Amino acid sequence: MRPAQAELFRLRHLDCANGRMLTLGPRGGLMAIVNVTPDSFSDGGRFADESAAVEFALGAVADGAAILDIGGESTRPGAQPVSADEEQARVLPVIAALAEQTDALISIDTWRAETARLAIDAGAHIINDVTGGSGEPDILAVAARTGAGYCLMHTSRGRDCLKDAVADQLAFLKPALRATSEAGLSESQIVIDPGFGFGKETTDNLEIMARLDVLHALGLPILIGTSRKRFVAAMSGGEDNLTRDFGTAATTALMRLSGGALFRVHNVAASRAALAFADDIIARHHGGLS
């Protein structure tokens, strides 16, 4: 690693709602996926019951998750949309229960402004918006008003994209970031997410991985969400979750060495092991990190 890369791992903080903050930089952080849905692509129905979701989430914290990402609507290709009322009925009891039982940060995976607002009221700290503010722009006002951390994701769905996948990242993210500023968010609230999958082909995803340095020019922490994605299965040579988890752990280590700050995963323990190696190597190359 070049000495200039030390900047990628410098200490910084993500400001979050409800008086919380997350330390980023010297060590990679893990965001556990908690799908409170019947139809998510790899674990649909496993945690649709509140008690099962809470039990799984607390286990993920024990395995090393710093953030619990609670979602009530599947984002897999072809998934049937749910109403705001149904989404809220799924996620809000889980968030409220977790807020009472753990000090881990809680993220609400939604593009709806009202769901985000209610989730923050129930105890959530971060908004994870897979539309990057394009689904319901009022969600940015919710983040600004509550002080929530905001994960701004690139998507290739429902829009004309540039042929160069990395150039398209910037074409989407730059105006989206301007919108966050205009809504009153500070840079210390924002994490960007390249949106692996989400309308991208395997070659697009690999190109973004290989050229992650282009996104670092935006000056913000990067959330990596490769877990169990179709392109990971294709590269790993198997469709089952275990094989996908092997591939996910590999991408976790690679993207951490490339400067990724947070990793959204299904199997926390596997990616925790991958991060242990990557973080040790980073520390050996860049003295003073802790």
Query: Residue 257: which CATH number?
Result: 3.20.20.20
211 is known as an active-site residue = no
**List 90, 230, 256, 264, catalytic entry:** 264
Quick check: is 233 in a domain? yes
Quick check: is 230 in a domain? yes
Token pair 């509140």 is found at 50
229 is known as an active-site residue = yes
Whole-number Å distance between alpha carbons of 144 and 141:
5
Q: Residue 44 has what pLDDT?
A: 47
Quick check: is 263 in a domain? yes
Domain that holds residue 147: 3-284
Total domain count, the chain = 1
Quick check: is 182 in a domain? yes
Q: Residue 80 has what pLDDT?
A: 74
Low-confidence ranges of the chain (pLDDT < 70): 1-4, 39-48, 76-79, 287-290
**List 200, 229, 256, 272, catalytic entry:** 229
288: left (phi over 0), alpha (psi -120 to 50) or beta: left
Question: To 10 degrees, the CA torsion angle through 172, 174, 179, 184?
Answer: 140
Whole-number Å distance between alpha carbons of 12 and 22:
9
Quick check: is 256 in a domain? yes
Quick check: is 138 in a domain? yes
Q: Residue 74 has what pLDDT?
A: 80
Quick check: is 289 in a domain? no
pLDDT tens digit sequence for 70-123: 999 987 666 678 899 999 999 999 999 999 999 999 999 999 999 999 999 999
Tokens of 279: 């973080």
Q: Residue 3 has what pLDDT?
A: 40
